[in-house]
Chains A and B, each alone.
Chain A
Amino acid sequence: SQKIEQNSEALNIQEGKTATLTCNYTNYSPAYLQWYRQDPGRGPVFLLLIRENEKEKRKERLKVTFDTTLKQSLFHITASQPADSATYLCAFWRSYIPTFGRGTSLIVHP
Chain B
Amino acid sequence: DTGVSQDPRHKITKRGQNVTFRCDPISEHNRLYWYRQTLGQGPEFLTYFQNEAQLEKSRLLSDRFSAERPKGSFSTLEIQRTEQGDSAMYLCASSPEGSGEKLFFGSGTQLSVL
15 new A-B contacts at CB < 8 Å, known A43-B93, A46-B103? A31-B99, A32-B99, A43-B4, A43-B105, A44-B91, A44-B103, A46-B102, A96-B55, A97-B33, A97-B56, A98-B33, A98-B45, A100-B35, A102-B40, A103-B42
Contacts of B91 in A (CB 8 A): 43-44
| A75 CB → nearest B CB, Å | 14
| A106 CB → nearest B CB, Å | 15
In the complex, A42 has a CB within 8 A of chain B: yes
- State whether A96 touches B31 (Cβ < 8 A): yes
- State whether B42 touches A89 (Cβ < 8 A): yes
The 9 closest A-B pairs by CB, nearest first: A43-B105, A32-B100, A100-B42, A46-B102, A102-B42, A100-B43, A44-B105, A101-B42, A102-B41
- State whether A43 touches B106 (Cβ < 8 A): yes
- State whether A43 touches B45 (Cβ < 8 A): no
- State whether B48 touches A97 (Cβ < 8 A): yes
Q: Please give the residue numbers on chain A whose beta carbons come within 8 Å of chain B beta carbons, in ascending order.
A: 6, 8, 31-32, 34, 36, 41-46, 49, 51, 89, 91, 93, 95-103
Interface size class of B (residues with CB under 8 A): 20 to 34
In the complex, B108 has a CB within 8 A of chain A: yes
The one of A31, A95, A98 in contact with B103, judged by C-beta atoms closer than 8 angstroms, is: A98
- State whether B100 touches A31 (Cβ < 8 A): yes
- State whether B99 touches A49 (Cβ < 8 A): no
| A66 CB → nearest B CB, Å | 13
- State whether B100 touches A45 (Cβ < 8 A): no
Tell me the B65-114 residues at the A interface (CB within 8 Å). 91, 93, 99-100, 102-108, 110
Q: What are 12 A-B contacts with C-beta separation under 8 Å? A: A6-B42, A32-B99, A36-B103, A43-B91, A46-B103, A93-B99, A96-B55, A96-B56, A97-B48, A100-B42, A102-B42, A103-B41
